[in-house]
Structure 1
Amino acid sequence: MSEEEKQQILKQTLWNIANDLRGNMDADDFRDYILGFIFYKYLSRKMELYANVILQPDGLDYETVEQHPQATELLEAIRFEALDKLGYFLKPSELFSELAKRGNSGNKNNFILGDLANVLTSIEQSTMGSESEDDFGNLFEDLDLTSSKLGKTEDAKNELIVKVLTHLEGIDFDLENSDSDILGDAYEYLIGQFASGAGKKAGEFYTPQQVSKILAQLVTTNKTKLKSVYDPTCGSGSLLLRVAKEVKEVGEFYGQESNPTTYNLCRMNMIMHDVHYKRFDIYNEDTLVNPSPNHIDKRFEAIVANPPFSANWSASPLFMSDDRFSDYGKLAPKSKADFAFVQHMIHQLDDDGTMACVLPHGVLFRGAAEGHIRKFLIEEKNYLDAVIGLPANIFYGTSIPTCILVLKKNREQAGNILFIDASAHFEKVKTQNVLQDTHIEEIVNTYRNRIVTDKYSYVATLDEVKENDYNLNIPRYVDTFEEEEPVDITAVAKAIKQLDHDMQQTDEIIAGFCNELGIETPF
């Protein structure tokens, strides 16, 4: 069986389990449980595999090591190694397989809720004082095993949890295959599936893969390795991880997310994709108000983002002394933080880096402070490299058309700006518009080669942009107007005459019927 076939089976199996077991629970709530338990199983299996490698020279097995006469010394040695290698530690009795076995034992001792809660706490506590503490702290806080959403009684809650653990225990995650990322991709698939049904909330934690692909390919143009990638509104981390698929190697991943639940999901997603805890730094705070103290002085080679569209922010005058905004002379308006995110990202961008972010179309033409910032970016800094218009209705929870801005501090094509209008290039799938691989390839290829295509793309000089008063509305540069075929007036007149003739004949026929019936004609 191919890797792709294995992946499809795993994706569908996990999604079926999620649907079968959540019952009447809201999908958003069940998401946190099912993804959390998959993550717990992943950590358990990684722990067991690593411990068995350590114990192999002694002919021991981790599953039974707690019964060994020197169990205390052995476990302490394994814990020391695991904290550095994995970032956490689990005893054999705390492994997922052990709790699933106990819960499914069929006797009165199968109540595992309390033990499960203790294990999840133990995973977090095992990292206390170690380098991985920030990466594992409060990671399971959204798995509330006391919640009435799981059941009205303790027995009902336990029964549901046991069912979930039992079903998951029966799935082979194939973690022995170190070259495979089947589980990580399946986990990402589940996040996407939950997002597709989450409505407006989905935008808080997930960027559709079709858009992620475009952003990732734009910022990795002419790159095979990246020192770093950063997302200031990273959600579940899908964009960061997508960038890693486009190059051979990414040194470090950085992200910031304001929602605590989504922040936890992002850290889990990183670990599930086998990104070592020393290689990622995700921070939980509002990026504009409280940027990570570990990030703010760094400069990143690639930046990708899908910030919340036209979000509110304070726009406090105090920000005018902030290095991120002070050069511009004006702040983004309170009701539209779009350019505030752009300014933040530019501040974090390395001199040889590329950033690509998704924004609402309003940033292209709105005036006042936004018009001032836009002019400054083009006229004073000359950072704007390309403007790409996307189709409407491709994001979960909103049908508005969006655009991608690509910015660089050192542009190869410093005398012009590329405009791409891909708004009409999509495929309708149910109620959603979808960018297929061919559409994505056309966008990226047009950007990379700066191709001019009639009614699709145009390379505008900076003088042309200046003549348009720095208004970047795409139709000003890409003419998509379709001329209608010329009307043949003679043919139209002839058709009208024929129509009059036909109507007259019809009237005569109706009048004949009326005479036969002895009734008055209707005209």
Structure 2
Amino acid sequence: MAIKKSELYSSLWNSCDELRGGMDASQYKDYILTLLFVKYVSDKYAGKEDAIIEVPEGGSFADMVRLKGDKEIGDKINKIIGRLAEANGLKGVIDQADFNDEAKLGSGKEMQDRLSKLVAIFDGLDLRANRAEGDDLLGDAYEYLMRHFATESGKSKGQFYTPAEVSRVIAKVIGIGPETRQDQTIYDPACGSGSLLLKASDEAPRGISIYGQEMDNATWALSRMNMILHGHPGAEIWRGNTLADPHFKNPDGSLKKFDFAVANPPFSSKAWTNGLNPENDEFKRFEYGVPPAKNGDYAFLLHLITSLKSTGKGAIILPHGVLFRGNKEADIRRNLVRHGLIKGIIGLPPNLFYGTGIPACIIVVDKENASSRTGIFMIDASRGFEKDGNKNRLRSQDIRKIVDVFNNRIELPRYSRMVPIAEIASSANDYNLNIPRYIDSSEPEDLHDLDAHLSGGIPVRDIDALERYWSVFPTLRDALFRSNGRAGYLEPKVEPAQVKATILAHAEFAAYAARVAAVFDEWRAAHEPRLWALDAGAKPREVVRALSEDMLVRFAGLPLLDKYDAYQCLMDYWAGGMQDDVDLVAAEGWVAAAKPRGIIEDKEKKIKETPDLVISRRKYKMDLIPPALIVGRYFAAEQAEICCLESDVARATEQKEEFEEEHGGEEGALNGLEDEKGTKIAKGNVQKRAMELKDTILKAYSEGTLEHKQAKTIKKTSFGLGYWNKEIADEEGLFEELNVLYDYLQILNEESAKKKTLKEAVDRFQNNILVKYSELTKNEIKALVVEDKWFSSLQAAVESEVQRLTQRLAGRVKELDERYARPLPELEREVEAFSKKIEEHLKRMGLKW
């Protein structure tokens, strides 16, 4: 079965556990990514003729597997990688990591065990069937690892990776798309691991020629491997210092020009002039000005501009300082604006990047329309993000909103604006491009009304500010507020605790919820055929693209509900599991993807899976169809029966606990009968005590110290299910303790019987579920997944967004109510009353002042 993306990620990250301790993340990434590369190309190309990667004899991952437990495993792995590298011209690329380094991997048995376990983890991954056309599971996994490595590597080592979310924004705003030709070119002068180039190339379905240069040797190797894993073995990625020695040049020695260029260079490099005399630059990159010697931000921007064709377009990530710093940088900025080279500026949230926590911006360059440019389009996207550990991340809706607004020049209050060049050049701004000068993204201040605090009532002004709600629910306002007799002020009609319930019960809200549901149903009806038609060979990215694009269109006409919030519901669900489902169907088809698989916990691999079903100690995982879906559609009655039996067990347990509490005190009959740990009363101890008590009673009877006409029945007692008549008693109460013990044993037996009945029912129930999986037809599988799983979950997510709207309105109404509920005179009278009470108490206590 094809491995799910989430499982692949988990397995790969667990493999890092084998290396932690001996080195930091910036080092062990070379080992993990190298093994991933060798495993992938071995699975994909070994034994195939005319493959783009040759897997030579003695140079495959299978050769590594045979080394598990070998005393010379480190040295032999190096040789295997060396053979693969030599056969494909990858010397210095995939052989960066030394698998025989005792300083990092330990010596002797420690290295042998560590590498054997590491190889075993990768050996458990089947990567042959995990690339559907148009999708790239391995490339995504590679990026997943690099993101985590960047997080762990810290400030000095995180610069090799540009967050994928930012890369997607850049790729989409520079104009690459379906019309881009395969012979067009894209270039990154500081390509790092290649993520920016790859995300940009993803936007060109017909292909695009990739060029890049990277100074760091290890990072350059990552980029080369990344290109191959993403299916771009022909990408030209070169080593070297781009500013001092650019590799890509024309025959006449001038810089090669590209159609597109992207970059995320090191921020504010202080060594950018090493090997370079910018005053006499042979490539004429500094015609608009020479950057300061200790800050290379503009050096990379000017290199990017020079590397573009006359119709070229590009984007670069730089710190916000480039927008407003003075002196030499101000001169460069003025020249760039005057020449119309800057098309737009996008301000990003802080703490997105792994090398720094400072906020950055994207400067978009467009040479083609520079001469006619009359304004710069600015976006302040600094407030749209989510927390992800100790970093921030752009959500899917943030990415989409930035791209939509930028590409369509949509002006939104406190978010985006086309700023005229004349305004930028004015004496007040003097070519300062700092975004807050032109876009005030702060929320309006929530002003208090002093008269309302003094005299009571909620200001009409504050209620009018909720007009976006009243326009949709025109009579709801009157249901929540009424006149209090003062002009310009109202009072609440309902108690604060009832505001939300009032909104939910209002006919206009019900009509609005129905309207949203109708839009969802229309969207659902439009895409049900597409999802039912999925099968092996499907293209998951095309699926989510069609679903998401249409969702944005259909939800755009709804008031209150932001279309990007609905879009986020879909994208969250896609990332959270639907993508894995579609990947499985695309790789194997519906029937194979729906089959349960037995799982084994391998302690050596440290990979544990939580089973969906456990039958006869065998664990089963249902990847595509969770058992709950089978139960809901086919076993609802059996589920109800199980619930009843669970209730019976719960009541029996509750009865037992109540009995223990009643008779478990210091003088209770159950005192001292706990198990060795003292955590619970032991049944064996109770039985032992009952038999001791029985023997005592019989002995007393035989010795004549106990006289009772029914005492002889004690002889017939068989504790557990015996004939003991608990009604027997005598004047001295000798049988009372025995009665308690007998009752407790009866309770225990009843609880045990109910638990046994429940277990047997659950075993039958789960076995029936497992059998049902084998009986499902293809159409039944589709109905369970498409209708009961995908659309049902998405509908619930959209409905939760409608509920959030209600919560926001109710929250604001309650806030206003509570803010002005008690005017100042009332509070003063209350303070005065309390003061008098305190004074009276103090006087009675004899205090004088």
**Cα shift at 1:173:** 0.7
Q: Post-superposition shift, 1:406?
A: 0.4
Paired residues of 1:386 and 1:405 also in contact (CA < 8 A): yes
Structure 1 residue aligned with 2:287: 327
Q: Deviations over 1:275-325 (max 9, x none)?
A: 12xx21112222222222558632111111111111213548821221343
Q: Is there any run of 5+ residues in structure 1 with no aligned partner, and where? A: 55-80, 128-132
For 1:500 and 1:342, locate their aligned partners in 2 and report how far apart those are by CA, in whole Å: 64
Q: 1:230 to 1:256 in 2, by over 3 A?
A: same
1:315/1:331 contact within 8 Å kept: no
- Give the aligned partner of residue 102 of structure 1: 67
Unmatched 5+ stretches in structure 2? 456-822
**For residue 310 of structure 2, what is the aligned residue in structure 1?**
351
Aligned to 2:318, what secondary structure does the other structure show? strand
**What SS does structure 1 have at the residue aligned with 2:259?**
strand
Cα separation, 2, equivalents of 1:176 and 1:213 = 23
1:231 is aligned to 188
Q: Could you tell me whether the CA contact under 8 Å between 2:94 and 2:225 is conserved in 1?
A: no
Once the 2 structures are TM-superposed, how far is the Cα of residue 437 of structure 1 from its aligned partner?
A: 1.2
Whether 1:148 and 2:105 are equivalent positions in the alignment is no
Q: What SS does the corresponding residue of 1:460 show, helix, strand or coil?
A: strand
- Indicate conservation of the 8 Å contact 1:44/1:95, yes or no: yes
Correspondence 1:77-156 to 2 at 5 A: 85-86=52-53, 89-103=54-68, 111-127=72-88, 133=89, 136-156=90-110
CA distance in 2, matches of 1:254, 1:350: 14
Q: Is the 8 A contact 2:286 2:302 kept in 1?
A: no
Q: Deviations over 1:423-443 (max 9, x none)?
A: 112233444322111111111
The yes-or-no answer on 1:404 pairing with 2:367 is no
Deviations along 1:377-398, one digit per CA (max 9) or x if unpaired, are: 111x211100111111222242
Question: Per-residue deviation at 1:94?
Answer: 2.8
- Alpha-carbon deviations, 1:359-410, whole Å to 9, x = none? 111111111111100111111x211100111111222242212111100111
> Which residue identity does 2:192 align to in structure 1?
G
In the alignment, which of 105, 128, 137 is matched to residue 182 of structure 1? 137
Q: How far apart are residue 498 of structure 1 and its match?
A: 4.5
| Conserved 8 A contact 2:267-2:297 | yes
In 2, Cα distance between equivalents of 1:225 and 1:293: 22
**1:192 matched to 2:147:** yes
Q: Separation in 2 of the partners of 1:95 and 1:41?
A: 8
Aligned residues with identical type, % of pairs: 34
Aligned partner of 1:270 in structure 2 is: 227
Specify whether residues 34 and 480 from structure 1 end up closer, same or farther in structure 2 by C-alpha distance, changes over 3 A only. Answer: closer
2:348 aligned with 1:390: yes
CA distance in 2, matches of 1:145, 1:397: 28
User: Which letter does structure 1 place at the counterpart of 2:83?
Assistant: S
Residue aligning to 1:454: 413
Instruction: Judge conservation of contact 2:179–2:204 (CA < 8 Å) in 1.
Output: yes
Q: Which string of whole-angstrom CA distances, capped at 9 and with x for unpartnered residues, describes residues 477-511 of structure 1?
A: 22335443554333345555554444333332222
Q: TM-score, normalised by structure 1?
A: 0.83
C-alpha distance after superposition, 1:137-184 (max 9, x if no partner): 311443122323444323321221122112211210126857352222
Tell me what 1:507 maps to.
835
Distance 1:7 1:500, change over 3 A: same
Give distance in 1, aligned partners of 2:220 and 2:409: 37
CA distance in 2, matches of 1:155, 1:389: 53
Instruction: Tell me if the contact between 1:315 and 1:332 (Cα under 8 Å) persists in the aligned partners.
Output: no
Aligned residue identity for 1:396? Y
Q: How does 1:443-482 map to 2 (within 5 A)?
A: 443-467=402-426, 468-482=429-443
Q: Which SS does the other structure have where 2:376 is aligned?
A: strand
In structure 2, do the counterparts of structure 1 residues 175 and 111 end up closer, same or farther at CA, with 3 Å as the change threshold?
Answer: farther
Counterpart code for 1:146: N
* Bigger mean CA offset, 466-475 vs 198-207: 198-207
Q: Which residue of 2 aligns with 1:415?
A: 374
1:13 maps to 11
CA change 1:383–1:471 in 2 (3 A) is: same
Q: Which has the higher contact order (CA 8 A, sep 6+)?
A: 1
Q: 1:435–1:501: structure 2 CA closer, same or farther, 3 Å change rule? A: same
How many corresponding residue pairs?
471
Deviation at 1:93, TM superposition (A): 2.7
TM-score, with structure 2 as normaliser: 0.52
Aligned to 1:517: 845
> CA separation in 1, counterparts of 2:18 and 2:83?
29
The alpha-carbon distance between structure 1 residues 326 and 110, as it changes in their structure 2 partners (threshold 3 A), is closer
Q: Kindly indicate whether the alpha-carbon contact (under 8 Å) linking 1:99 and 1:116 is maintained by their aligned counterparts in 2.
A: yes
Bigger CA radius of gyration: 2
Q: Does the 8 A contact of 2:22 with 2:104 survive in 1?
A: no
* Secondary structure of the corresponding residue to residue 100 of structure 2: coil
